Every structure is written in structure tokens, then in C-alpha cells.
Amino acid sequence: MRDISDNEEYKNLFLDVYNHVINCDRLVTFTNPKTLDIEAFLSVSLIQLQEERIYHLEGIIIDSSLCGKDFSYQILRQDIKDCKADILAFHTQSKLMENLGKKLSIPNIKLAESVADLINTSNTVLLEEGPIDKGRYGVTSLYGDVEKFSEIAIQREGFNFRNGDAIIYVGRVMK
């Protein structure tokens, strides 16, 4: 979804990846066994909340050749299990990512409201369908090709991905 042929767009993608991996607790990479190229990564922060462990997915990038093959689901499910997490949390503008969260956990709006500050949410706005981080990505979408992304972008009353809004997804992990 990101056109990185332009030098400025490449710098923006580099900064986005850098910001996801530099301060995370856990960085998991997946390499192609034949070429040894990195095909995917997960950047994760683990947060203890009383007796429960929050798996805060800070970032996930999957090579486009692996999209639509359930790869994201498989690696995320395994890593959540390896981390013995009880709660999955992340910010997103994508319906695909939200649906992935729903395959792995049961969304909980009240829990999302209480966890928002713990997962680096800067501007929580409560909407009927759950909290969002208003303007999380500045005043633009995280994705460069807004028209192409709009096909899979979350569409809700009070939410505008074009202005950098992201939903706050939090759910109890299905065991």
C-alpha cells in the first residue's frame, strides 16, 4: 500500500519501521529459508496488568507475496502463545488487521478504554464502536496510497483514517 519509489515516501516508511522496532520489548523476524531474506517481522511490547499479560503488537510487516495465505494469523497466534499473553492490543486503520485481531481474541470495548494509555495512545476519543486514537499518525493516513487503502480502511462514524485516526483494538486472547 505504500509507494516507496519516491525518496520522501521511502524515508517515511523507514522512520515508521524504525519507530516500531527501536523501543519494542520483542522483535521477531521471519526469513525465507532459501534466500535468507527477511519476509516478515513483528514488533511487540509486553505489559503486565495485574495478573494478566498484554501483548501489544506495535507493528507487523509481511512481504506482499505472503498476504492472503494466513501467514499473519499463524505467526501472530504462535507468538502470542509463546509469550503466554492474555490480552491482545494494537492500533490500526485497517479492517484486515481488525479482523485478524478478532480471529485471535474477543474484542472488549471497556478493556480497550482501560488499556489505551498503557499502549501509548496519545489522544483517546470514545466512540460508540470503541475508542480511537484521534490523529495517531499525524494528519494523514499511515498508508501513502489513500485511494487504494480506502478499500480496506475502517469506516466508522467519527473515525477518519485520512486524518491519521486509528482504532484501539483490545481483546481477550482465545485459548
Considering the domain boundaries, does residue 2 fall inside one?
no
The pLDDT value given to residue 4: 52
* Residues 3-42: tens digit of each pLDDT: 455 666 556 666 666 666 677 889 998 888 898 888 888 9
Q: Give residue 158's pLDDT.
A: 96
> Looking at the chain, which runs of residues are DSSP E strands?
26-31, 38-49, 52-62, 87-92, 105-107, 124-127, 130-133, 166-173
Determine the pLDDT at residue 7: 65
Q: Which of 21, 16, 29, 9 is nearest to 136 (CA)?
A: 16
For 25: left if phi > 0, alpha if psi spans -120 to 50, otherwise beta; the answer is alpha
Closest CA to 141 of 121, 125, 155: 155
| Predicted structure pTM score | 0.88
CATH code at position 96: 3.40.630.30
Intervals of the chain under pLDDT 50: 1-3
User: Does the residue 25 lie in any domain?
Assistant: yes
Instruction: Give the alpha-carbon dihedral of 74, 18, 130, 111, to 10 degrees.
Output: 70
Domain membership flag for residue 52: yes
Sign of CA dihedral 112, 134, 72, 100: positive
Q: Please give the tally of structural domains in the chain.
A: 1
Q: By three-state DSSP, how is residue 35 classified? A: coil
pLDDT at residue 1, rounded to an integer: 36
Please check whether residue 1 lies inside any domain of the structure. no
* Residue 60 in domain: yes
| Confidence at residue 78, expressed as pLDDT on a 0 to 100 scale | 96
Q: Terminal CA-to-CA distance of the chain, rounded, Å?
A: 32
Establish if 128 belongs to a structural domain.
Answer: yes
> Which range marks the domain in which residue 109 is found?
7-173
* Cα distance between residue 52 and residue 86, in whole Å: 6
In this structure, is residue 46 part of a structural domain? yes
- The reply to whether 19 falls in a domain is yes
